[in-house]
Amino acid sequence: MQPVEITKDVYWVGVVDWDCRNFHGYSLSPRGTTYNAYLIKDEKTTLFDTVKSEFTGKLLCNIAHVVKPGDIDYIVVNHVEMDHSGGLPEIVAKVRPEKIFCSPMGERALKSHFDVADWPIQVVATGESVSIGRRTLSFLETRMLHWPDSMATHIPEDNILITNDAFGQNLATSERFADEMDRSVLYRELVRYYANIVLPYSPITLKIIDQIKSLGLRIDYLLPDHGVMFRGPDVAYAIDSYVAFATQKPTKKAVVVYDTMWHSTEKMAHAVADGLLSEGLSVRIMNLHVVDHSDVMEEVLEAGAVVVGSPTHNNGMLPRVADLLTYMKGLKPKNKVGGAFGSYGWSGEAAKAVAGWLTDMGMEMPADPLRTLYVPKHGELAKCVEMGRIIGKAVNARIG
């Protein structure tokens, strides 16, 4: 895909990865992704970030449609993660830039990733600015959104904010702007990206958004390093979405997720869902045989309740459930009501173990873990329905 002019002399020169289906090896990306790089033509022509190493040739080709690669004077490294810096060694060798700008932690990361002995690195911090001619680059460190080196660059003359991974989506499309996209598709990919990558840094996200607002930065273009770009009213749409995601207010939605061997825990899951439905909650039932942990987290982000079921297997839970809980705990969801259930044959530890994990995540647990010996009968399924009702009432009480 060829470069796209964003505004006069400002270009998207990134690449579309149509084939990516597993982002960084831990989160499915069913719609592919992009690695966005940006180029500004000015007295000091400047490139912002690069791409995954195997796409460096395409990046150079896109740059060549705008300027000769050797005419690039400056490179800004907003983020050192390899999907944005993988092409950097080859680009630096071909371009031989006058300066490479990065954050203090960015310098440390670059030195740990590459041989940078002869690279003209210049460290910049929040509040520092660099003139490139008609434009100014103003830097804002965004540490732990989502790496220590993360940095954003504001160009006040064009009201542009280049945000690295913040506001990104794993979305491979020929459209480059949010206003060209199906809104429901865009929203789901914003949710999915936030839930699986940015969620543990929600307090930092809110703090940085407050900082941007307090600085009075005017933003007409919000340019992330993945997915489509935001312009005009869609800038507020992206920022407001992130505030909502980071705040994690309780909602009338519940996720019931489970694994099962002989369908007993599955029957319990559906009975719990019936109880939740009876309290007016919207329910997503997710079988770990057919969904990935990243699919679950996409739903968990905007849920008020998370109810997890597992049969007992070798005195513990099934591996897929253990995987989900480990993954979920690392992402640190907040403001959730939890519940645990499962069938067993002789020892029955799984439901209690699941409840322990959910408790450790800070979830409110209004009902005791529920377990059923072998196959649930009518009375036991009725207890599952009642558990769903108890959890549903707890969610409704939080919403008020």
Active site residues: 24, 79, 81, 83, 146, 165, 193, 226
Count the alpha carbons within 13 Å of 274 in the hemisphere toward its beta carbon.
12
Shortest CA distance to 106 belongs to which of 79, 67, 133? Answer: 79
Residue with tokens 């982002």: 23
Q: What is the 3-state composition of the chain as percent helix, strand, coil, each rounded to the nearest 5?
A: 40, 25, 40
| Cα 74 to Cα 208: distance, rounded to the nearest angstrom | 26
Whether the Cβ atoms of residue 1 and residue 61 lie closer than 8 Å to each other: no
Distance between CA atoms of 125 and 232, rounded to whole angstroms?
Answer: 28
What's the rounded Cα separation, in Å, for the pair 169 and 181?
A: 12
Q: Can you read off the two tokens belonging to residue 219?
A: 């933003």
Q: Are 338 and 355 in contact (CB under 8 A)?
A: yes
Q: Which of 198, 184, 186 is nearest to 230 (CA)?
A: 186
Pairing of strands 4-7, 10-12: antiparallel
Alpha-carbon dihedral sign for residues 30, 168, 165, 294: negative
Q: Which helix (H) or strand (E) holds 61?
A: helix 56-64
Answer for the pair 222, 177: CB distance below 8 angstroms, yes or no: no
**Cβ 391 vs Cβ 367: under 8 Å:** yes
Quickly list DSSP for 212-270: HHHTT---SEEEESSS-BEETHHHHHHHHHHHHHHH----SEEEEEE--SSSHHHHHHH
| Residue 153, token pair as written in the block | 């660059």
Compute and round to an integer the Cα radius of gyration of the chain. Answer: 24
